[in-house]
Amino acid sequence: MKRTKISLLATFFVFGIINLNGAWWANGFPCPYPFDSQCESLVAQGASSFLQSFSNFYLLLNESELGSENETTGLNFVKANSSIENTLNNLVTSRENLSQLLSLLKKSTVESTTIQKLRSFNYEALVTTRNLHPMVMDRLKCFLYRGDLNGFLEEILSDLDSIITHSIKIQDSIQNNKIPSLDDLRELFQEFSDCMLFGYYASLVFSEIKE
């Protein structure tokens, strides 16, 4: 029953993301000249890898759900290990791409007009019009209203580091033929969800200031 609840929660979250308008992760990041195309490629690859890692984590949750329902065979450790391995590989790739993006950002500057738009943007109005979570937007606003794009990327990298650490913990359990605890799965799911929303809200803001 407990694993059924986390599976249902994951399903509701998936449908929520699918129904979001323009659900991209950090899409539209303000790219500095003269690294525009390289920057855009790194953002796209980093976002794609993150979404693939989240997708593979859902596959792990599915295996956990199926294992809890089958008392005879239990968890399919082969499939579970494949899911968590793919989760980790994509997380590492995403982190590498965003680390490269941060390095580019430190070598150049974003247009002052873009920074000014971030500083004067009405974050509260966006929360109201799109029915967003104020706490997530407050976290994002801490960086963007100062025009601190470096800090924004460092925050995402910190999130990815934590997700990677907890994914490794779960991988260790699976590789030792131990079923991951429900608390560990919930904690990792929460971290993925928080990072997903943080990046999605950023994409909404970046889209707005480009219009």
Cβ atoms within 10 Å of 22's Cβ, excluding its own:
10
Q: What is the mean pLDDT of residues 173-201?
A: 95
Torsion of CA 97, 98, 102, 108, to 10 degrees: 60
pLDDT in the model for residue 71: 52
CA 203, 208, 211: angle at the middle one, nearest 5? 130
Q: What is the mean pLDDT of residues 20-33?
A: 69
Per-residue pLDDT reduced to its tens digit, 141-169: 999 999 999 999 999 999 999 999 999 99
pLDDT in the model for residue 4: 44
pLDDT in the model for residue 70: 54
Residue type, position 109, single letter: T
> Is the alpha carbon torsion for 140, 98, 148, 39 positive or negative?
negative
Per-residue pLDDT reduced to its tens digit, 37-83: 898 899 999 999 999 999 999 999 999 888 765 554 678 999 999 99
Which has more pLDDT, 23 or 138?
138
Q: What is the mean pLDDT of residues 17-25?
A: 47
**Is 23's pLDDT higher than 80?**
no
**Is 12's pLDDT higher than 70?**
no
**For 179, which DSSP code?**
P
Q: Give the N- to C-terminal CA distance of the chain in Å, as an integer.
A: 47
Per-residue pLDDT reduced to its tens digit, 185-195: 999 999 999 99
pLDDT in the model for residue 73: 60
Residues 6+ apart with CB under 8 A from 84: 56, 57, 60, 167, 170, 171, 174
Q: Where does the chain have alpha helices with state H? A: 2-18, 36-69, 77-107, 112-120, 123-130, 134-144, 149-175, 182-210
- pTM of the complete model: 0.85
Query: What percentage of the chain carries pLDDT values higher than 70?
Result: 85
Per-residue pLDDT reduced to its tens digit, 78-110: 999 999 999 999 999 999 999 999 999 998 888
Q: What is the mean pLDDT of residues 180-206?
A: 95
**Is 10's pLDDT higher than 90?**
no
> Which of the residue ranges 13-22, 183-192, 194-203 would you say has the lowest mean pLDDT?
13-22
